[in-house]
Amino acid sequence: MEQKEGAKLKSINVNGKKINKTGNYTTSSEGVKFESNYLESLESGQNVIEFIMDDGSKSDATISIEE
């Protein structure tokens, strides 16, 4: 499902688990910024990030964490 214009971020799942915003990421009009402490807690390799919008649409991204 594609994100519709004007939709707002509702939540984020990483590797299938919802993450709390507090201490893990911030949002702004420019996008999402993950905190370095949170990124350091991810397993090495590919991690799937799912952005869930308030209109029900979703977008996926993959981040690669190196040791």
Per-residue pLDDT of the chain (67 residues; tens, 9 = 90+): 445 567 899 999 999 999 999 999 999 988 999 999 999 999 999 999 999 999 999 999 999 999 8
What would the two tokens of residue 47 be?
């991690």
Contact 66, 22 (CB under 8 A): no
Residue 25 forms part of a structural domain = yes
Residue 1 forms part of a structural domain = no
Residue 43 forms part of a structural domain = yes
**Domain that includes residue 46, residue range:** 9-65
Residue 4 forms part of a structural domain = no
CA distance 8 to 45: 29
How many structural domains are present in the chain?
A: 1
Residue 1's pLDDT is what? 44
Percent of the chain whose pLDDT exceeds 90: 85
Percent of the chain whose pLDDT exceeds 70: 93
Q: How far is CA 21 from CA 2, 6, 33, in A?
A: 23, 21, 10
Amino acid identity of residue 15, one-letter, is N
Residue 47 forms part of a structural domain = yes
Residue 4's pLDDT is what? 57
